[in-house]
């Protein structure tokens, strides 16, 4: 096949006719496939079953207190230790919560909204609050902003992380910029890992707002697909060097390590931030599920074992991601797409010819293949180029995935051909 962008109008029309026929063939199949959400597949869930059913016995419920009973707001010491190993930070800085890191992030914004942060004015009392949103990004981060009426400022996400000149300009000049959402390793959806320079520049920030916080959602911290993995600089180490530990709050969970609904989430922050957060958390709950924390501690034991466990999951996931790469490489050769080939995480982010994302999404939907809605990865669901589609390869079987990808390919080609023909007129 030839690069579409070099074809004449006649050749484009001919190519469209052929591709439309392919599309009609697909329509007749009556497919029902889903590549929309970053859910683990069945094989991954089966792989984690031993964790679920390892019995908890009476002699393991803690020495100073009984983990079956009320109390221990910040999580059982063994779980705080395990997460501190994983996050490479002090145990005292770790708060282990329930099953959802999203809930911990929502809670962090909610606390700031109701009570402020470390004595600052509650965000609900301010004329406006703004968050920087590297885009494309995680739609649920943006949904939290919308919920609290927080204005979102999109920031370009480059190959090495967010555009730090823009970040610095906003953070250092606008006292209403109170936060930034970051998925610093294998970002959702691009799979980009922030470079050391970007992380250092984050630590260098001198915010106009004393209650500005970096929301460091390290969702894919150990979610490598290859032995040679991306390395992320430890932001807390960088902050510590500069005496600015209060500036970041890190979030993590085992949702995609053990079970998405029944994992354990944690957050790490400075002691000052944690003391502040506890003022609310102690009103909100007597404590999270310590027995599920214990289940995870008993099964994993160490961060090293978690990493070993992740290698097993990578075996399941790598062939799926490579099927995506293969399919997208073909689109790339046609000159109508580009993408970053991630070495981990849960997504691949496809940039189509401008103006083609919505059309491709609709075409795929009409023949039974559900993708993440076009635009969903941008604040306010507005993709200025109408170009980005997020591909979530983990949930379908490899066979279903390959079928979906071939449908995506046909739909993307049709959309691109239509646009190219129009601009050739």
For 176, other C-beta atoms within 10 Å of its C-beta total: 17
Q: Does 144 bind a copy of itself (CB under 8 A)?
A: yes
By CB under 8 A, residue 103 contacts a copy of itself? yes
**209 beta partners:** none
CB 344 within 8 Å of CB 186: yes
Of residues 292 and 387, the one with the C-beta less far from a copy of itself: 292
Contact 54, 75 (CB under 8 A): no
Position 342 contacts a copy of itself (CB under 8 A): no
Q: What is the DSSP letter of 109?
A: H
Interface residue with a copy of itself among 110, 177, 334, 392 (CB under 8 A) is 110
Residues in the chain: 425
Peptide bond into 136 cis (omega under 30): yes
Query: Is-contact 132 208, C-beta < 8 A?
Result: no
Residue 286 touches a copy of itself, criterion: CB under 8 A: yes
**Least distance in angstroms from the C-beta of 285 to a copy of itself:** 5
Q: State how beta strands 213-217 and 177-182 pair.
A: parallel
Interface with a copy of itself includes 312 (CB under 8 A)? Answer: no
Taking the complex as a whole, the smallest distance from the CB of residue 386 to a copy of itself amounts, in Å, to 25
Between 41 and 162, name the residue whose CB sits nearer to a copy of itself. Answer: 41
Footprint of a copy of itself on residues 14-53 (CB under 8 A)? 37, 39-40, 42, 45-46, 48-49, 52-53
Take residue 235 and report the two structure tokens written for it: 């932001």
Asked if residue 56 binds a copy of itself (CB under 8 A), the reply is: yes
**Binding to a copy of itself by residue 143, rule CB under 8 A?**
yes
DSSP-derived secondary structure for 344-378: BSS-EEEEESTT-HHHHHHHHHHTTEEESPTTTTS
Find the binding residues for a copy of itself in span 355-414 (CB under 8 A): none
Cα dihedral value 12, 18, 22, 27, nearest 10? 80
Q: Which of 284, 214, 306 is nearest to 251 (CA)?
A: 214
- Cβ atoms 387, 354 nearer than 8 A: yes
Q: Closest approach of Cβ 141 to a copy of itself, in Å?
A: 10
Characterize 56-87 residue by residue with b for buried, 16 or more Cβ atoms within 10 angstroms of its Cβ, and e for exposed. eeeeebeeeeebeeeebbbbbbbbbbbbbbbb
Q: Work out which of 291, 311, 354, 422 binds a copy of itself, going by CB under 8 A.
A: 291
- For a copy of itself, give the closer residue by CB, 68 or 272: 68
Q: How far is the CB of 33 from a copy of itself (least distance, A)?
A: 16
Q: Which is nearer to a copy of itself, 65 or 332 (CB)?
A: 65
Judged by beta carbon, residue 9 or residue 279, the one nearer a copy of itself is 279
Q: Which is nearer to a copy of itself, 68 or 271 (CB)?
A: 68
Residue placing its CB nearer to a copy of itself in the complex, 40 or 136 = 40
Footprint of a copy of itself (CB under 8 A): 37, 39-40, 42, 45-46, 48-49, 52-53, 55-56, 58, 66-72, 98-100, 102-103, 106, 110, 113-115, 124, 140, 143-144, 146-148, 255, 259-262, 280, 283-292
């Amino acid at each position: 096949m030839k690069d579409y962008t070099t074809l004449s109008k006649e050749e484009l029309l001919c190519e469209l006719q052929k591709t439309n026929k392919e599309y009609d063939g697909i329509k007749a199949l009556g497919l029902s496939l889903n590549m929309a959400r970053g859910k683990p597949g069945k094989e991954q869930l089966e792989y984690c079953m031993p964790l679920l059913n390892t019995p908890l016995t009476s002699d393991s419920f803690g020495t100073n207190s009984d983990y079956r009973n009320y109390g221990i707001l910040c999580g059982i010491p063994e779980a705080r230790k395990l997460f501190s190993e994983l996050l490479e930070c002090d145990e005292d800085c770790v708060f282990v919560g329930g099953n959802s890191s999203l809930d911990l992030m929502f809670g962090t914004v909610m606390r700031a909204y109701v009570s402020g942060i470390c004595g600052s004015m509650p965000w609900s009392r301010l004329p406006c609050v703004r968050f920087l949103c590297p885009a494309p990004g995680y739609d649920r981060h943006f949904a939290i902003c919308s919920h609290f009426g927080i204005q979102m400022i999109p920031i370009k996400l480059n190959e090495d992380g967010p555009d730090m000149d823009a970040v610095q300009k906003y953070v250092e000049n606008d006292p209403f910029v109170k936060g930034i959402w970051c998925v610093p390793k294998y970002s959702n959806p691009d799979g980009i890992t922030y470079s050391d320079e970007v992380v250092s520049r984050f630590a260098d920030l001198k915010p106009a707002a004393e209650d500005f916080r970096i929301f460091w959602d390290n969702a894919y911290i150990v979610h490598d697909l290859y032995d040679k993995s991306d390395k992320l600089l430890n932001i807390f180490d960088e902050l510590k060097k500069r005496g600015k530990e209060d500036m970041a709050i890190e979030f993590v969970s085992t949702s995609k390590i053990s079970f998405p609904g029944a994992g354990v989430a944690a957050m790490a922050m400075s002691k000052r931030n944690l003391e502040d957060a506890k003022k609310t958390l102690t009103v909100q709950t007597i404590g999270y599920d310590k027995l599920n924390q214990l289940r995870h501690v008993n099964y994993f034991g160490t961060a090293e074992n978690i990493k070993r466990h992740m290698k097993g999951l990578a075996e399941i996931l790598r062939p799926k991601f490579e099927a995506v790469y293969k399919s997208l490489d073909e689109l790339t050769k046609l000159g109508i797409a580009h993408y970053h080939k991630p070495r981990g995480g849960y997504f691949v982010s496809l940039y189509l010819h401008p103006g083609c994302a919505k059309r491709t999404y609709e075409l795929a939907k009409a023949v039974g293949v559900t993708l993440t809605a076009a635009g969903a990865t941008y604040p306010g669901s507005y993709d200025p180029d109408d170009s980005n589609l997020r591909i979530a390869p983990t949930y379908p079987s490899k066979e279903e995935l390959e079928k979906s990808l071939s449908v995506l390919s046909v739909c993307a080609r049709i959309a691109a051909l239509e646009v190219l023909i129009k601009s050739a007129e």
